[in-house]
Amino acid sequence: MKKSLVVLLHIGYWGCYFAMIMVMLAMFFRGEDAIEAKIEEAFQIIFLFALLPSVITFYTCYSYIFPKYFQQKKYFLVAISELVISLAASIIGYSFLAIFVGEDCVDDGEEGIIFGAIFFMTFIALISGVIAMVMRGFITWFDEIKLKSELQQKNNEMEMALVKSKLDPHFLFNTINNIDILILKNADQASSYLNQLSDIMRFMLYETKADKIPLFKEIEYIKKYIELQKIRTSNLSYVNFNLVGDSNNKIIAPMIFIPFIENAFKHNNNKKLEDAITINIKIEEENINFKCINKFDANRKSKEEENGLGNHLIQKRLNLIYPNRHHLTVKNENNLYSVFLTIENE
């Protein structure tokens, strides 16, 4: 939600609140003489008795209790915290009222009225706290709806880009032709590659529709994709893939690492290079670390925009899916293109 709308919500609430207090005070002072002499006292009562405890409780609930406890579904702590804050704010308000207005104005020397005044202020502050939680909840809900809508739009763009990338005729035709040639030489191996190609197509069509998938499925796809790419070369050290850590019980958004790997193959056509592409995935308790480094010809025109996924689109998707929970670094130097991506585990 825009900040201007949020500010208007706050102004509207406090405007209505102040108007209600003014009406109550007008009824309280009705019929009394020397109204002018009561104006200053009335405004002191408004600020210290009615407004100060409510403001303290409202913005404490709005800024602290809601994100700290309510969003974590710790409702018991929400109730206790709001009650304590309301009571403390009321005591503060009463203390200032007694100092600046005078105890006689507040309690007329009766102890019971003191507790009654504090109880009444606590009740008013509690109501303000509840309204603060409702307002913050509405703003959060509105922002989540907007974010989901934007994420859906970006995911649609991503799906279209992925379809173009994954169904790249050059990759598919080359793979099918290589398998066709391999059938005559080694039928069992050709069948294995064909099954891997089938698994890749199945993964693209079905698994990528989910928001999150098990990490081991993403890694299985990467392994199969690399194996199919290696059909076209006899260089055993052309691609180095290293996996460290346990991928079980970990989830990730689909197709997070694939675009970087695809671009690495697209930007390197020399299959005779040693260690032309290095891919490392390190799975830790808190993070998943991905590194992809490929050698490239600086004179060769990049086809990333034509056939692959641009870094701009990838970065947008990361920002939407993992806001403040990822770190991406891309370097292009000394004929080496390096991608370093860290994602926090859920």
- Give the domain CATH number at 308: 3.30.565.10
The answer to whether position 162 is within a domain reads no
For CA atoms 195, 198, 203, 204, the dihedral sign is positive
Do 188 and 84 lie in one domain? The reply is no
Range of the domain at 48: 3-146
pLDDT at 174: 73
Domain count, the chain: 2
Are the C-beta atoms of residues 182 and 189 closer than 8 Å to each other? yes
pLDDT at 102: 58
pLDDT at 307: 45
The answer to whether position 293 is within a domain reads yes
pLDDT at 318: 86
- Neighbouring CB atoms inside 10 A of 228's CB total 20
- 3-class secondary structure, 286: coil
Tell me how far apart the alpha carbons of residues 261 and 291 are, in angstroms, rounded to a whole number. Answer: 10
pLDDT lower than 50: segments of the chain: 34, 106-109, 164, 167, 302-308
Do 103 and 177 lie in one domain? The reply is no
Do 103 and 190 lie in one domain? The reply is no
Do 215 and 270 lie in one domain? The reply is yes
Tell me how far apart the alpha carbons of residues 22 and 100 are, in angstroms, rounded to a whole number. Answer: 20
pLDDT at 113: 64
Do 86 and 194 lie in one domain? The reply is no
The answer to whether position 151 is within a domain reads no
Do 109 and 176 lie in one domain? The reply is no
The answer to whether position 153 is within a domain reads no
Do 50 and 176 lie in one domain? The reply is no
- Neighbouring CB atoms inside 10 A of 267's CB total 19
Tell me how far apart the alpha carbons of residues 250 and 271 are, in angstroms, rounded to a whole number. Answer: 34
Do 236 and 326 lie in one domain? The reply is yes
- Measured CA to CA in angstroms, residue 20 lies from 15, 50, 91, 123 at distances of 9, 11, 22, 15
Do 122 and 183 lie in one domain? The reply is no
What does pTM read for this prediction?
A: 0.53
Are the C-beta atoms of residues 262 and 228 closer than 8 Å to each other? no
Domain end among 146, 178, 205: 146
pLDDT at 303: 45
Do 33 and 175 lie in one domain? The reply is no
Q: Which residue, chain included where needed, has tokens 């850590």?
A: 245
The answer to whether position 135 is within a domain reads yes
Do 116 and 237 lie in one domain? The reply is no
The answer to whether position 247 is within a domain reads yes
Domain end among 94, 113, 146: 146
Are the C-beta atoms of residues 252 and 212 closer than 8 Å to each other? yes
The answer to whether position 155 is within a domain reads no
